[in-house]
Amino acid sequence: MTSLRASSWPLALAFALAACGSPSSNGTPKPDPDASVDAEADRAPTPDAPPLDVAPPPDVAPPPDVAPPPDAPPPVDVAPDVAADVAPEGPQCMPTELACDGRCVNGRTDNAHCGACGAACAAGQMCMDGACRAVCPTGQTMCGGSCVDLQTSFGNCGACGVTCPLGQSCAAGRCQCPTGQMVCGAGCVDTTSDARHCGVCDNACPRGRMCAAGRCQTVCAAGQTLCNASMGAGECVDTMTSATHCGACGNACAAGQSCAAGACVCPTGQMLCAGRCIDLQRDGANCGACGRMCGATESCSLGRCASLCPPDRAVCMVIGGVQCADLTSDANHCGRCNQGCPTAQSCRAGVCSCATGQIFCGGACVNPLSNLAHCGGCGGQCRVGEECRAGVCAPPCATGQTACAAGGGAATCVNTQTSAAHCGMCGNACPTGQACAAGACRVTATTRYRAEERPAGLAFVNACSAPGAATYLPGADDSAVLVALPFAFRYWATERAAGAMVNITSNGWIGLDGVLSGTYNFPIPSSGTPNAVIAAYEGDDYNRGGQCVAVTGAAPSRGWVHTWNDAAHCCDPSVTGAHTTYSIYLNETSNVIEFVYSTMTGARGQYVGLEDQTGAQGAGGCPGGAFNCVPAAGYAVRFVPIP
Ligand SMILES: [Ca+2]
Ligand SMILES: [Ca+2]
């Protein structure tokens, strides 16, 4: 017993015991793993029920135990999330099952563990969707597979299986003699007129006298008729009201009938069927008409036989009554009633089966693509040190690699940090246009920026010649300075406000991350700092001339131009013979970025392109989208952002 909701069972069980009429237990009741057995006792006569042969007088009869009305079920905790109750140390149950007392049960339908371990449904209830619900219509009780009214059922009077003696009827849950009669010996008699029981039971009048008004007399009173005179002691009766001499001597009314104005009548709402008064509205044996019997899985309601279960449920006969089962998913009634699934399997679409991709081996559901003991099929045992990859035993992958299979084929060892087919985990293929980086699918450069080589109409602008230009870092090597962004600019889908600091360096790049850095020779893209790098010619350079920055045009179409004016390589203007002049343009509003190369004498292979804020993605600026090349004079590239 490990259920979180185990506290609900004693109450439910107490109701069950009361309904059965069985002696109550002295000790603390134990959780019953199969409370449906208790419900079985409900159908048998019990010591508390009135005896079959001798019924007590109606006035003094103790009330028989009566089952709780179905419309007032005991409160039962309902656990909508039955999976949460699975015991951690219990058997390996399906997510939809409960582990109760060491076995897996379906908490949605199990009458003994309804919604939670030990939450047993009371008699007359069944477990549906994890909650105990009354089986029968309001006012009726399940007895032997039929719904009956214990208040009036002749064969289930007060409790299931209690049949009233002949001559008695069931009223208010008790076997009773007709009005005005009482039990004497084995039958109901009218002691006001019965000469054998005159006044009281067994007080026989002497021969030749008759019983009138409960006394032995010589003549009948006015308005009374002498009946049974030939038997020696006659009876003086009012044939207008006598149930044994109704209308005429010897005309006895049927069980349950009374005599009114000399005619035998059933109680209001009942009809005489086979000698008994029956409520045709709700009697399962006389439903709507005398003798019209409802099926074992039906109840009588308003004179019509109706299934006990909702339209989407099957009526399954189980110990203790019936159960409404979903044959498509009920592990106890899978496909058909009482066809249970093995513990490890669940019922899916009416078939006992393992989860998708699993097979049933040795009493357990396993994945043959990865299970070491059932690799490729039941019994496919891999050797020590091997892995089961896509159903094939194979040596393990190297450190950092994972065995992944595509389309059920043989597995290969991949790096899920970078594999576009298995990004982050096996089988997680990145959508078209995305690449795998750090185990996550990301939009590739070609979809974030569209690079246009040598776009028409893009002319070189030298910022050093523009009005208002500022010159930075002349004669500097591996140096940097922070300058303010003159207008808002959206870079790699991230807004940067006007005034945000931008790193400009003598090594051919600017950095929108605002981190001061004069480093060089880092790949584009790369996750290390600096990030958000815009590199026109990133490498080990030297500012022979000044590095100019200027704003051109008018808002909202201004340009921010950076020009490396006659730069050299490495560390000294005299040693390389390189003369490189090129510009980076940042365009307001359109957020387009452009590189234009004017003079590239003595240029060498350096990094050209963009990287995002994390360095995980990049857009190559070289011909063909490459990130490293020798830019030629006259070359230009435009990066158009794609929202
Ligand atoms: Ca970087
Ligand atoms: Ca340098």
- Residue range 503-550, pLDDT digits in tens: 999 999 999 999 999 999 999 999 889 999 999 999 999 999 889 999
Is the pLDDT score of 3 beyond 80? Answer: no
Token digits for 56? 């007590």
Distance in Å, CA 610 to ligand 1 centroid: 9
Cα 301 to averaged position of ligand 1 atoms, centre (Å) = 78
pLDDT of residue 192: 83
Ligand 2: distance of its center to the CA of 479 in Å? 8
Phi/psi-derived region of residue 481, left when phi > 0, alpha when psi is between -120 and 50, beta in every other case: beta
Nearest ligand (C-alpha, residue 539): 2
Edge to edge, what strands does the sheet with 234-237 contain? 215-217, 210-212, 234-237, 225-227
Distance (angstroms) between ligand 2 centre and the Cα of 564 equals: 13
Centre of ligand 2 to C-alpha 539, Å, is 7
Strand runs (DSSP E) across 574-632, as ranges?
Answer: 579-587, 593-601, 606-611, 618-620, 628-629
Show the tokens assigned to 35: 């409370």
**Which ligand has the shortest distance to the CA of 505?**
2
Using the mean position of ligand 1's atoms as its centre, give its distance from the Cα of residue 505 in Å.
14
pLDDT surpasses 90 at 172: no
- pTM of the model as a whole: 0.37
Q: How far apart are the CA of 568 and the centre of ligand 2, in A?
A: 9
Q: How far apart are CA 237 and CA 246, in angstroms?
A: 9
DSSP label of 25: P
Residue 607 CA to ligand 1 centre (angstroms)? 12
In angstroms, the CA 153 to CA 256 distance is 11
CA of 536 to the centre of ligand 1 (A): 14
Cα(491) to ligand 1 centroid in Å equals: 15
Residues 562-573: b if buried by 16+ CB within 10 A, e if exposed: bbbbbbbbeeeb
Ligand 1 centroid–CA 527 distance in Å is 5
Average pLDDT, the chain: 80
Pairing of strands 210-212, 234-237: parallel
Q: What is the mean pLDDT of residues 210-235?
A: 76
Instruction: Give pLDDT tens digits for 582-635.
Output: 999 999 999 999 999 999 999 999 999 999 999 988 999 999 999 999 999 999
φ, ψ at 234 (rounded to 5°): -80, 175
- Residues 229, 247: Cα–Cα separation, whole Å: 17
Name the DSSP letter for residue 477: B
Ligand closest to CA 479: 2
The runs of H, that is alpha helices, within 390-468 are 445-448
Integer Cα distance of 425 and 131 in angstroms: 39
